[in-house]
Amino acid sequence: MTPDLPELLDAASVVTLPMRVRFRGVTAREAVLLHGPSGWAEWAPFVEYDDADAARWLAAAVEAGWGRLPSPVRGAVGVNATVPAVPAEQVGSVLARYDVTRTAKIKVAERGQTLADDLARVTEVRRVLGPGARLRVDANGAWSQDDALEALRTLAPLGLEYAEQPCATVEELAALRVALARAGVDVPVAADESVRRAEDPLRVAREHAADLVVVKVAPLGGVARAVEIVQECGLPAVVSSALDTSVGLAVGVRLAAALPDLDHDCGLGTAALLAADVVADPLVPRAGGLTTDRADAAREAVDPALLTAHRSDPERETWWRERLTRAFAHLSGI
């Protein structure tokens, strides 16, 4: 069931949540919480995304709030810690917020930083978590092919599970995989933006541009569509978040729980990066994982007092409501 625009606007609460550390260039996360007959949903496309992109995120929110999510095939999923592009001396305090010791994703290639900064950060994560931890790095497409080869050759001795979106384009990813193999650098390549922001999310598989795919509920238009994409790609998948509140993370858990195969820990622990949330008991991992029971409970536990406490200022609320109106006009094409 697709609600009409007045129903969506009536169901919407716009919030601004402070971050503990700068992440993806932001220090506060804005989100729209929507209360539908199937439960709470979240709509929070990043501000730089156009209305067509935002409509896919809205389709995902409509599925969660007004539709039915696929049934889970597992009751719990493993979760990685996420380390922003902080100085190495801050790594320990970031990791201390996670009840996770098995897997960590480390942001690299931050604008204004150097490969030496990345090396120091990844080295410190390895020191803190120990030799048995799985470390993955995420460049968000910021490296050129040559820079990616140099960087991964430098970081590979620290033991990398994979490199997420080291280059921006599918062509570069495919060429990088060949270059890594020729150089004897054993680092698998994961595609994120080349899947979630692509008109053709299956292209990375057809062109052998990735060893695995990173999927996120909102950018792909919902849980059901994300499951279809993973199945059609035929590649191992990692489920990740888009810096969501606990409501959005809960739906991400449901995606991870619905995939037939899930061999990697998922990037669903980012509530630890928020200094505030919309539920009193944020959906942070316990003993390295999240359960579907906790996720479903989080979607029922949105606190009206927290929505009020973190309500966006009138100017930002108007901006989001106008954006919602524009995105709604694109829904029929999703």
Walk across the sheet containing 39-43 and list its strands. Answer: 12-23, 26-36, 39-43
- Does the pLDDT at position 1 exceed 90? no
89 carries a ligand binding annotation? no
296 carries a ligand binding annotation? no
Please name the residues in contact with 39: beta carbons below 8 A apart, sequence gap of 6 or more: 64, 65, 299, 300
Q: What is the distance between the alpha carbons of residues 327 and 207, in angstroms, rounded to a whole number?
A: 31
DSSP 220-286: HTSHHHHHHHHHHHTS-EEEB-SS--HHHHHHHHHHHHH-S---S-BB--GGGGBS--SBSS----B
**Catalytic site includes residue 105:** no
- Does the pLDDT at position 61 exceed 80? yes
DSSP 189-228: EEESHHHHT-SSTTHHHHTT--SEEEE-HHHHTSHHHHHH
138 carries a ligand binding annotation? yes
Q: What is the pLDDT of residue 7?
A: 97
**Catalytic site includes residue 107:** yes
pLDDT in tens, 262-304: 999 999 999 999 999 999 999 999 999 999 999 999 999 999 9
Helix (H) or strand (E) holding 7: helix 5-11
Q: What is the distance between the alpha carbons of residues 114 and 56, in angstroms, rounded to a whole number?
A: 34
pLDDT in tens, 298-308: 999 999 999 99
Overall average pLDDT of the 142-158 stretch: 98
- Does the pLDDT at position 138 exceed 80? yes
What letter represents residue 204's amino acid? V
- Does the pLDDT at position 315 exceed 80? yes
- Does the pLDDT at position 109 exceed 90? yes
- For the domain 5-68+303-333, what is the CATH code? 3.30.390.10
Q: Which of 56, 105, 136, 216 is catalytic?
A: 216
User: For the chain, which residues make up each domain, given as ranges?
Assistant: 5-68+303-333, 76-300
Q: What is the pLDDT of residue 100?
A: 92
Overall average pLDDT of the 68-96 stretch: 97
Q: What is the distance between the alpha carbons of residues 110 and 139, in angstroms, rounded to a whole number?
A: 8
Q: Which of 29, 56, 107, 136 is catalytic?
A: 107
- Does the pLDDT at position 333 exceed 80? no
What letter represents residue 59's amino acid? A
At residue 24 the predicted structure's pLDDT band, cuts being 50, 70 and 90, is: confident
Overall average pLDDT of the 246-264 stretch: 97
The share of the chain scoring above pLDDT 70, in percent, equals 100
Domain 76-300 listed as CATH 2.60.120.10: no
Query: Dihedral angle at the C-alpha atoms of 176, 263, 238, 135, nearest 10 degrees?
Result: -60
The share of the chain scoring above pLDDT 90, in percent, equals 95
- Does the pLDDT at position 108 exceed 90? yes
- Does the pLDDT at position 11 exceed 80? yes
Task: Report the mean per-residue pLDDT for the chain.
Answer: 96
At residue 196 the predicted structure's pLDDT band, cuts being 50, 70 and 90, is: confident
What letter represents residue 308's amino acid? T
Q: What is the pLDDT of residue 25?
A: 80
Q: What is the pLDDT of residue 269?
A: 95
